[in-house]
Chain A
Amino acid sequence: MQRLNIVITGHVDHGKSTLIGRLLADTDSLPQGKLESVKKMCENNARPFEYAFLLDALEDEQKQGITIDSARVFFQSQKREYIIIDAPGHIEFLKNMISGASRAEAALLLIDAKEGVAENSKRHGMLLSLLGIKQIAVVVNKMDLVNFSEVAFNKLKIEYTEYLASLGVKADIFIPISARGGVNLIEHAPQTPWYQGKTVLEVLDGFESIEEKANDDFRMPLQDVYKFTRDNDDRRIYAGTVSSGVLHVNDEVIFYPSLKRSRVASIESFNTEVKSSVKENEAVGFTLQTQIYVKNGEVVARADQSAPKVSNRFEANLFWLGTKPLELNKPYKIKIGSAQSTIYLEEIKRVIDGDTLDSDDEPHVSRHEAACVIFRVHDLLAMEQFGENQKLGRFVIVDEYDIAGGGIITEVLEQYTTRRTKALHVNTVLVDKAGENAEFEEELFALLRKHFPHQFN
Chain B
Amino acid sequence: MNHLDKLEAQSVYILREAYRSFPNLAMLWSIGKDSTVLLWLTRKAFFGHVPYPLVHIDTAFKIPAMIAYRDEIAVQWDLNLVVGQNKEALSRGETYPDGLDRLSCCKKLKSDALKYTLDGTWARRKWNPYKKEWEEELNGAPYTGVIVGVRADEEGSRSKERVFSARDEKSEWDASTQPPELWNQYKTDFAPGTHVRIHPLLEWTELNIWEYIQRENIPIIDLYFNKGNGKRYRSLGCYPCTAPVDSEARNTQEIIDELTSGKFKDIAERSGRAQDKDGGGTLERLRKEGYM
Residues in A lying within 8 Å of B, measured CB to CB: 1-3, 28, 30-34, 41, 57-60, 68-74, 81, 83, 93, 95-96, 98-99, 102-103, 212, 223-224, 226, 228, 230-231, 233, 235, 237, 239, 241, 268-271, 281-283, 285, 296, 321, 333, 335, 391, 394-396, 398, 400-404, 406, 454-455, 457
Interchain CB contact under 8 A, B185 and A335? yes
A-B CB contacts (within 8 Å), total count:
166
Contact: B16 with A223, CB < 8 Å? yes
Q: Judge whether A72 and B159 touch: CB under 8 Å.
A: yes
Partner of B44, one of A59, A72, A270: A270
Whether the pair A403, B280 counts as a contact (CB closer than 8 A) is: no
1/0 contact trace for B155-198 toward A, CB 8 Å? 11101101000100000000110111111110111110000000
- Inter-subunit contact A454/B20 (CB<8 Å): yes
Q: A57-B284, A237-B47 are in contact. List 14 more A-B contacts (CB 8 A).
A: A32-B267, A33-B268, A57-B159, A58-B281, A58-B284, A93-B176, A96-B180, A223-B13, A239-B16, A239-B45, A270-B47, A270-B48, A285-B47, A455-B23
A58:B157 contact, CB within 8 angstroms: yes
CB-based contact B49/A230 at 8 Å: yes
Judging by beta carbons under 8 Å apart, are A402 and B182 in contact? no
Tell me the smallest distance from the CB of A97 to a CB of chain B, in Å: 9
Point out the residues of chain B lying under 8 angstroms from A398, CB to CB.
Answer: 189
Cα–Cα distance between A7 and B49 once the two chains are bound (Å): 37
Q: List 22 A-B contacts (CB under 8 A).
A: A59-B281, A71-B159, A74-B152, A74-B153, A74-B205, A96-B178, A99-B162, A99-B181, A103-B183, A239-B16, A241-B12, A241-B184, A283-B13, A394-B182, A395-B185, A398-B189, A401-B187, A402-B179, A402-B187, A402-B189, A403-B181, A403-B185
> Is A58 touching B160 in the complex (CB atoms < 8 A)?
yes
Task: Report the minimum CB–CB distance from A2 to chain B (whole Å).
Answer: 7
Q: Which residues of B contact A (CB under 8 A)?
A: 1, 3, 5-6, 8-10, 12-13, 16-17, 19-20, 23, 43-49, 51, 78, 152-153, 155-157, 159-160, 162, 166, 175-176, 178-185, 187-191, 202-203, 205, 216, 266-268, 280-281, 284-285
**Closest residue on chain A to residue B40 by CB atoms:** A271
Q: Which 3 A-B pairs have the closest CB atoms?
A: A57-B156, A402-B179, A59-B281
B153 & A99 in contact (Cβ 8 Å cutoff): no
Residue numbers in A under 8 Å from B268 (CB-CB): 31-34
Q: Could you tell me the distance between the alpha carbons of A223 and B188 in the complex, rounded to whole angstroms?
A: 14
CB-CB under 8 A from A70, the residues of chain B are 160
CB distance from B188 to the nearest CB of A (A): 8
Give every chain A residue within 8 A of B6 (Cβ-Cβ): 3, 281
Contacts of B45 in A (CB 8 A): 239, 283
With a cutoff of 8 Å between Cβ atoms, the chain A residues found around residue B9 in the complex are 241, 281-283
- Bound complex: CA A333 to CA B178 (Å): 19
Q: Which residue of B lies closest to A395 (CB)?
A: B185
Closest A residue to B23 by beta carbon equals A455
- A403 touches which of B8, B47, B180 (Cβ 8 Å): B180
- From A58, A212, A403, B175 is in contact (CB under 8 Å) with A58
CB-based contact B185/A69 at 8 Å: no
> Are B187 and A271 closer than 8 Å at their CB atoms?
no
Report the minimal beta-carbon distance from B175 to chain A, rounded to whole angstroms: 6
Which residue of the partner chain A has the closest CB to B1? A281
Whether A228 and B47, one on each chain, are in contact in the complex, defined by CB atoms closer than 8 angstroms, is: yes
User: Contacts of B46 on A, CB cut-off 8 Å?
Assistant: 226, 228
Q: How far is the CB of A300 from chain B (nearest CB, A)?
A: 15
CB-defined contacts of A223 to chain B, threshold 8 Å: 13, 16-17, 20
Tell whether, in the assembled complex, residue B13 and residue A68 are in contact, meaning their CB atoms are under 8 Å apart: no
- A99: contacting residue among B1, B19, B155, B180, CB under 8 A: B180
Q: Is the CB of A271 within 8 A of B13?
A: no
CB distance from A149 to the nearest CB of B (A): 36
Q: Which residues from A are CB-within-8-Å of B203?
A: 72, 83
Across the interface, which residues of B come within 8 angstroms of A102, CB to CB?
Answer: 181-183
| Complex Cα–Cα for A282 and B5 (A) | 8
Tell me, in angstroms, the Cα distance from A437 to B229 when the chains sit together. Answer: 71
Separation in Å of the A278 CB from the closest CB of chain B? Answer: 10
**Minimal beta-carbon separation of A101 from chain B (angstroms):** 9
Query: Contact partner of A69 among B78, B175, B216, CB < 8 A?
Result: B175
Q: A34-B268, A57-B157, A228-B49 are in contact. Are A98 and B182 (CB under 8 A)?
A: yes
A406 to chain B, nearest CB (A): 4
Give complex CA distance A244, B22 in Å. Answer: 27
Whether A406 lies near B281 (C-beta < 8 A) is: no
Please report the C-alpha to C-alpha distance between residue A300 and residue B152 in the assembled complex, in whole angstroms: 34
Q: Give the chain A neighbours of B281 by CB distance below 8 A.
A: 58-59
Q: Is the CB of A68 within 8 A of B12?
A: no
Inside 8 A of A230's CB, which chain B residues have their CB? 49, 78
Question: Which chain A residues lie closer than 8 Å to B216 at the CB level?
Answer: 271
The reply to whether B280 and A41 contact each other, CB–CB distance below 8 Å, is yes
CB closest chain-A residue, reference B206: A74
Bound CA–CA A32/B265 (angstroms)? 9
> Among the interface residues B3, B51, B160, B190, which one has the most CB atoms of the partner chain A within 10 A?
B160
Chain B residue, CB-CB nearest to A30? B266
Q: Of all chain B residues, which has the CB nearest A225?
A: B20
Q: Across the two chains, which residue of chain A brings its CB closest to B153?
A: A74
Q: Shortest distance in angstroms between A364's beta carbon and chain B's nearest beta carbon? A: 20
Is there an interface contact between A457 and B20, defined as CB atoms closer than 8 Å? Answer: yes
Once the chains bind, are B20 and A406 in contact (CB under 8 Å)?
A: no
- Are A454 and B19 in contact, with the CB atoms below 8 A? yes
